[in-house]
């Protein structure tokens, strides 16, 4: 009888403590190949070019992790604006920007620039893809 009561207590305590954890909602990203345009929530985003990719290649020891700078063109509500995005570490005095568009209810952000350079591909990547996502504003 004591073993049954103890088993029930352990079983119920597992359910009580297991409920406290919340799941993280995954981000759904949209791929924008270099030179192409996508439309998200009525906002047109064109990935124009990569201005700089000094990210430290995988498999290489670097003093500085580097960064990548991407030039985009955003058109919303009839207005067109060029936006520079920065991915990776930034140097002192520089500003890191990953926001493409910010509205009252949502924002469109740059998430990542792929592919990440390796020791074999450093300086030779021609097929960049910009990953963007929409996020709700609170």
Give the helix/strand (H/E) hosting 18.
helix 2-18
CATH number, position 78: 2.60.98
List of residues 6+ apart from 75 with CB closer than 8 A: 43, 44, 46, 81
Summarised one tens digit per residue, pLDDT across range 55-92 is 888 888 888 888 899 999 999 989 999 999 999 876 66
Average pLDDT, the chain: 83
On whether residue 47 sits in a domain, the answer given is yes
On whether residue 4 sits in a domain, the answer given is no
**Cis geometry, peptide bond prior to residue 115 (ω within 30 degrees of 0):** yes
Walk across the sheet containing 129-136 and list its strands. 29-33, 129-136, 106-114, 99-102
- pLDDT for 10 equals 61
CB 43 within 8 A of CB 101: yes
On whether residue 77 sits in a domain, the answer given is yes
Domain extent at residue 96 = 23-136
Cα separation of 21 and 115, whole Å? Answer: 33
How many independent structural domains does the chain possess? 1
- pLDDT for 99 equals 86
- pLDDT for 81 equals 95
- pLDDT for 89 equals 74
Summarised one tens digit per residue, pLDDT across range 107-137 is 999 999 999 888 787 667 889 999 999 988 7
On whether residue 37 sits in a domain, the answer given is yes
On whether residue 114 sits in a domain, the answer given is yes
On whether residue 96 sits in a domain, the answer given is yes
């Amino acid at each position: 009888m004591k073993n049954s009561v103890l088993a029930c207590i352990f079983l119920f305590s597992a359910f009580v403590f297991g409920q406290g954890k919340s799941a993280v909602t995954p981000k759904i990203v949209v791929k924008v190949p270099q030179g192409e345009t996508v439309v998200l929530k009525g906002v047109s985003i064109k990935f124009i070019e990569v201005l700089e990719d000094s990210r430290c290649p995988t498999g290489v020891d670097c003093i500085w992790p580097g960064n990548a700078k991407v030039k985009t063109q955003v058109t919303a509500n009839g207005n067109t604006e060029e936006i520079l995005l920065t991915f990776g570490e930034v140097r002192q005095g520089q500003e890191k920007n990953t926001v493409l568009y910010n509205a009252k209810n949502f924002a469109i952000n740059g998430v990542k620039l792929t592919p990440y350079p390796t020791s074999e591909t450093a300086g030779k990547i021609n097929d960049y893809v910009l990953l963007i996502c929409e996020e709700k504003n609170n």
